[in-house]
Structure 1
Amino acid sequence: MFGNDRIPIVLLTGHLGSGKTTLLNDYLSAADVEPALVIINEFGEVGLDHQLVRQTSENIILLENGCICCTVRGDLVDTLKELHDDLRSGKLAPFKRVVIETTGLADPVPVVHGMMNDFQIMLAYELTSIVALVDAVNGCSVLERYPEASRQVALADRVCITKGDLADAGAIDRVQRAVARINPSVDMTRRELGLMDRSLFERRFHSTTGVSDIEHWLGRAAGSAASLHGAGGAIRSTAIIRDRPVTWDTVSHWVDRLVARYGPNLLRVKGILNIDGADRPSVLHGIQHLFHPPEELPCWPSSDHRTRIVCIVDGIAPEEIQALFAEAEAMPSPMGV
């Protein structure tokens, strides 16, 4: 249904002082960076002055390297639609991706929900990754004190630990363990002083063509479901792992009941499914009550052919998620087989 020419969107989030602006500046200053559209909430919060060329309208700024900076004055979804219309009409120069920087106190769930819930946006854009920054110096206390910071980490595909040059090895290790308790399958990296990891903005975590990436974010689930029952305040993780193939009926019943009962509290559901009778695995991916249509991978990413589903939830006991899946498995098939 969705074409391959959709524009990638990267959502950049992180608490106040985590280094989002510095990271974004470094990326836009990198040599040979592809033209990007950067959407921010308030231009005054982002120090891009040294790159400005001219202001073309009240909220559009052109940068030296061909990138575009846009401030959001109203609804993000409306802004994305207007920008896409301007791109198609030739009012905006072509850009390769969109980077949306949230405010430090923003809960990213409504932002993602708004984009995924709009068909026009889904036709024009593709959310390829959510990157959360965590400060190595204050990260543990921030994750404990601010629920929105934990939700930023819970929703992320990749967490970048910043300010490692200001923290000792023990502090960095504690932050990494705190992140892993909240989001055990997240890809974690450290920001090295003076180095720019462009993959933070250019890696496509949600594409089914990235088979190795899918295996990576499920890697920690492969070991033990029990190890994922960590606690990040009210945010918890659990893994459903099945050695034998599952049926589409089981998955469908489970998702329907999960969404009906806990929709707003489902931060992230990601998994690879071994469907009974299918030659290839399928990918399951959902946020709150919105689930992407399952897609088949071209092949299994590794020799591990088990069904593995990672659920990150807010205020739901892991045992309840497991029980719902077991109940779905016990339901009789509608075909009587």
Structure 2
Amino acid sequence: MTKSDLLAHEQAGRREALDGLIARINPGAHVVDVQAPLAQPETLLSAGSYGATERGSNVAAWLAAESPLSRAFAKPAAAPVAGLARHSGIYTKSMVMAEPVSAADLVTFIDILRRAAGQRLLRMKGLVALLDDPERPMLIHLVQDIFHPPVRLEHWPRVDRRTRLVLIADGIDEAALDSFLKTLERKPGRKRA
């Protein structure tokens, strides 16, 4: 965050509302105020909690940070402040699949989704059970058009070994996105969950 020093003391409510808006859009976002005395420029360039090393240690928390359930039980956000409620088309979509998928199907799915949604696909992350080795999930992370290198984990973080994908979209028709997500699990010979 920049220019926070321009807010007068009586505008503290606008800053709190902005913090609330950021938390609603991305509950896992780490806000760095560059005006803060301890702010370090390197934090803007580090992978932080999305680096492979950090993710490997607490994948379950990383995936849960933006789930609709965590949002449903989060503290209510502050009352909106005029001029800050510009993101009404942003929503989160989750998908759970019981059966593993092929790596080729996953790559095709992600490629089509990225091409169709473009910049409106704000984020996608998840753990995917692949047919070649379902005991070692693939950790995927995409931010708009940047697809971070997938990481193959040595084991699942929990007993539940189902594929989980979480998407954050802006202005994408939710029913169409839901229908497209279901295509990944509708391959011939695959059970429907």
Asked if TM exceeds 0.5, the reply is yes
Asked if residue 215 in structure 1 is aligned to residue 60 in structure 2, the reply is: yes
- Give a deviation string over 1:73-129, Cα, whole Å, max 9, x none: xxxxxxxxxxxxxxxxxxxxxxxxxxxxxxxxxxxxxxxxxxxxxxxxxxxxxxxxx
Q: Counterpart of 2:124?
A: 269
Q: Counterpart of 2:105?
A: 250
Instruction: Tell me, in whole angstroms, the C-alpha distance in 1 between the residues paired with 2:121 and 2:68.
Output: 23
Q: Counterpart of 1:285?
A: 141
Which secondary structure does the structure 2 equivalent of 1:305 belong to?
A: coil
- Matches for 1:20-169 after TM superposition, within 5 Å: 137-139=13-15, 142=18
Structure index of larger Rg: 1
Shift of 1:255: 0.9
Instruction: Tell me, in whole angstroms, the C-alpha distance in 2 between the residues paired with 1:331 and 1:226.
Output: 32
Return the letter of the residue paired with 1:204. G
Q: For the structure 1 residues 319 and 225, does the alpha-carbon distance in structure 2 shift closer, same or farther, using more than 3 Å as the test?
A: farther
- Whether the 8 Å contact between 1:236 and 1:317 is mirrored in structure 2 is no
Asked if residue 309 in structure 1 is aligned to residue 153 in structure 2, the reply is: no
Instruction: Tell me, in whole angstroms, the C-alpha distance in 1 between the residues paired with 2:38 and 2:178.
Output: 41
Shift of 1:276: 2.6
Shift of 1:216: 1.7
Q: Counterpart of 1:233?
A: 88
- Could you tell me the percent identity over the aligned residues? 27
Return the letter of the residue paired with 2:149. P
Structure 1 or 2: more strand by fraction: 1
Q: Any stretches of 5+ residues in structure 2 without a counterpart?
A: 74-84
- Give a deviation string over 1:230-263, Cα, whole Å, max 9, x none: x941222212222333332332232122112111
Which secondary structure does the structure 2 equivalent of 1:259 belong to?
A: helix
TM-score (norm 2): 0.65
Which secondary structure does the structure 1 equivalent of 2:157 belong to?
A: coil
- Whether the 8 Å contact between 2:68 and 2:93 is mirrored in structure 1 is no
- Matches for 1:172-183 after TM superposition, within 5 Å: 175=20, 178-183=21-26
Q: For the structure 1 residues 288 and 197, does the alpha-carbon distance in structure 2 shift closer, same or farther, using more than 3 Å as the test?
A: closer
Instruction: Tell me, in whole angstroms, the C-alpha distance in 1 between the residues paired with 2:177 and 2:113.
Output: 8
Instruction: Tell me, in whole angstroms, the C-alpha distance in 2 between the residues paired with 1:197 and 1:281.
Output: 36
Q: For the structure 1 residues 138 and 221, does the alpha-carbon distance in structure 2 shift closer, same or farther, using more than 3 Å as the test?
A: closer
Q: Counterpart of 1:318?
A: 174
Aligned length: 166
Return the letter of the residue paired with 1:179. I
Q: Counterpart of 2:4?
A: 17
Q: Tell me which of the two structures has the higher relative contact order, counting C-alpha pairs closer than 8 angstroms and 6 or more residues apart.
A: 2
Q: Counterpart of 1:297?
A: 153
Return the letter of the residue paired with 2:131. D
Instruction: Tell me, in whole angstroms, the C-alpha distance in 2 between the residues paired with 1:322 and 1:220.
Output: 21
Which secondary structure does the structure 1 equivalent of 2:126 belong to?
A: strand
